[in-house]
């Protein structure tokens, strides 16, 4: 009986040059983390693919689904692994096609990674196709647009046979593009922005600005749920929480009402950049979409952007709300973001926020309170929750020394807070 394995395909990694092996090795590491609950026997590279085998030789659909959610994976196929015996891999092809569900047409697609096997790919196509035509006499052979393609891949002394593939999320393995700090709320936009940058290989460090103590801490718990929903991608290792409510109140009393939101965001960007420097991150990430709300006009974005010297990535800048919500459903954060929770975004909101801020007025409002002391105090009182889901995340040593008691609450059901 042929063993069943997960045959992992990647696309973009295959376009890399001399550093391709480092991308492949990182993907192998990330797959080990994603599959820690399964009885995995080995995960190894084989000629442009990743092979995942289990101790019992029976890889499952659930296991393939978990693999498909790891960035860097283009497709994953449940394949039968056989020797070079023709009868053995022909029977595996019969099994694979029989498990493909309802179909009317099929074709065979053979490949060899080397010329060491005596049969040419055309000969393998004819051999396997002839057997399948006998076993499935009512089905048609269609070379151009078949319902099912039976793949026969000869590589390193084995033959891998599969007929069904599950699409993956694509992109690059997390941990290959450096570290970024993302501004995370419990809404729809910022979790999607975080996921999109993580899918490009970045290790993400979310920072959530809570309305505490002026609001309940519900949004903090929703953000932790969002991080857990992103766990299959393995892109988040730590969530920072900044209690911002009292400072917002101080700002609301000091600056003109129309400039409150811009001032809030200037403080938030400044704090996020401080954390990024501590973490060794190279960029900030936001969920802003151009023109979606008052703070996301070009003038207001420019007024906030001048607070930081590092790049600010906005992966959703050209997306509309419907596109963002569809992506939230795909990545598993939609239902969490549907829950209402007061956070810093709902506190002390002006009736008529400025949509086209003038920098001279913004600077005047900025100088009306001691912003440097406020930023220092927010950084000094930051809190965090660690999550064991990102193999590429490394905590900063300086932060470990500075804080003895951290975390939004004393107990965390699944995440752990405090000194590491």
pLDDT digits (tens, 9 = 90+) for 45-66: 998 899 999 999 999 999 999 9
Quick one: which of 181, 349, 393 has its CA closest to 259?
A: 349
**Residue 209 counted as an annotated binding residue:** yes
What was the pLDDT predicted at 87? 95
| The domain defined by 3-167 carries CATH number 3.30.2130.30 | yes
Q: Cα separations (Å) of 396 from 57, 228, 238, 275, 350? A: 41, 22, 11, 10, 38
The residue ranges of every structural domain in the chain are: 3-167, 179-408
CB 177 within 8 A of CB 136: no
pLDDT value at 396 more than 80: yes
What was the pLDDT predicted at 350? 72
The crossing angle, in degrees rounded to 10, of helices 298-305 and 260-279 is: 50
The pLDDT confidence band at residue 115, using thresholds 50, 70 and 90, is confident
Q: How many other C-beta atoms are found inside a 10 Å radius of the C-beta of residue 268?
A: 22
CB 150 within 8 A of CB 161: yes
pLDDT value at 285 more than 80: yes
What was the pLDDT predicted at 369? 96
Quick one: which of 102, 47, 99, 103 has its CA closest to 78?
A: 99
pLDDT value at 409 more than 70: no
pLDDT value at 11 more than 90: no
* Interatomic CA distance for residues 262 and 299, integer angstroms: 10
What was the pLDDT predicted at 414? 44
**Residue 287 counted as an annotated binding residue:** yes
CATH level 3 topology of 179-408: Rossmann fold (3.40.50)
pLDDT value at 397 more than 70: yes
Pull the structure tokens for residue 173. Answer: 């393995």
* Interatomic CA distance for residues 412 and 15, integer angstroms: 42
**Residue 208 counted as an annotated binding residue:** yes
**Residue 183 counted as an annotated binding residue:** yes
pLDDT value at 168 more than 70: yes
pLDDT value at 267 more than 50: yes
What was the pLDDT predicted at 2? 83
Model confidence, pTM: 0.89
Q: How many other C-beta atoms are found inside a 10 Å radius of the C-beta of residue 77?
A: 22
CB 231 within 8 A of CB 364: no
Query: 3-167 and 179-408 share one CATH topology?
Result: no
Name residue, tokens 């309305």. 211
Beta strands 312-313 and 283-285: pairing type? parallel
**Residue 32 counted as an annotated binding residue:** no
What was the pLDDT predicted at 413? 43
**Residue 265 counted as an annotated binding residue:** yes
Query: What pLDDT, in 10s, does the model give residues 317-374?
Result: 999 999 999 999 999 999 999 998 776 666 677 778 889 999 999 999 999 999 999 9
What was the pLDDT predicted at 16? 85
């Amino acid at each position: 009986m042929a063993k069943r394995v997960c045959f992992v395909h990647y696309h973009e990694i295959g376009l890399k040059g001399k550093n391709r092996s480092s991308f492949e090795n990182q993907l192998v590491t990330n797959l080990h983390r994603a599959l820690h609950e399964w009885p995995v026997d080995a995960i190894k590279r084989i000629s442009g693919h990743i092979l995942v085998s289990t101790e019992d030789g029976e890889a499952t659909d659930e296991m393939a689904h978990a693999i498909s959610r790891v960035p860097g994976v283009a497709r994953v196929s449940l394949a039968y692994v056989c020797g070079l015996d023709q009868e053995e891999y022909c029977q595996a092809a019969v099994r694979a096609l029989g498990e493909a569900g309802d179909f009317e047409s099929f074709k065979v697609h053979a490949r060899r990674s080397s010329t060491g096997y005596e049969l040419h790919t055309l000969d393998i196509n004819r051999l396997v196709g002839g057997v399948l035509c006998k076993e499935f006499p009512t089905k048609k052979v269609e070379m151009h647009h078949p319902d099912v393609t039976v793949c026969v891949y000869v590589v390193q002394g084995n033959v891998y046979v599969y007929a069904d593939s599950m699409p993956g999320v694509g992109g690059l393995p997390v941990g290959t593009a450096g570290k970024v700090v993302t501004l995370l709320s419990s809404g729809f936009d910022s979790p999607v922005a975080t996921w999109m940058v993580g899918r490009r290989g970045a290790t993400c460090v979310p920072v959530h600005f809570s309305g505490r103590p002026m609001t309940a801490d519900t949004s903090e718990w929703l953000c932790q749920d969002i991080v857990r929903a992103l766990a299959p991608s393995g892109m988040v290792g730590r969530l920072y929480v900044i209690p911002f409510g009292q400072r917002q109140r101080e700002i609301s009393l000091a600056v003109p009402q129309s400039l409150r939101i811009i001032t809030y965001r200037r403080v938030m960007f400044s704090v996020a950049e401080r954390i990024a420097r501590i973490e060794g991150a190279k960029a900030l990430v936001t969920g802003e979409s151009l023109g979606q709300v008052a703070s996301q006009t070009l003038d207001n974005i420019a007024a906030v952007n001048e607070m930081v010297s590092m790049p600010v990535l906005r992966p959703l800048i050209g997306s509309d709300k419907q596109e963002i919500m569809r992506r939230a459903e795909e990545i598993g954060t939609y239902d969490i973001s549907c829950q209402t929770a007061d956070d810093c975004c709902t506190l002390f909101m002006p009736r008529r926020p400025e949509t086209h801020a003038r920098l001279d007025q913004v600077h005047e409002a900025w100088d009306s309170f001691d912003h440097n002391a406020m930023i220092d105090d927010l950084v000094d009182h930051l809190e965090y929750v660690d999550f064991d889901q990102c193999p590429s995340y490394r905590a900063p040593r300086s932060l470990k020394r500075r804080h003895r008691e951290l975390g939004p609450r004393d107990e965390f059901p699944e995440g752990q807070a405090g000194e590491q």
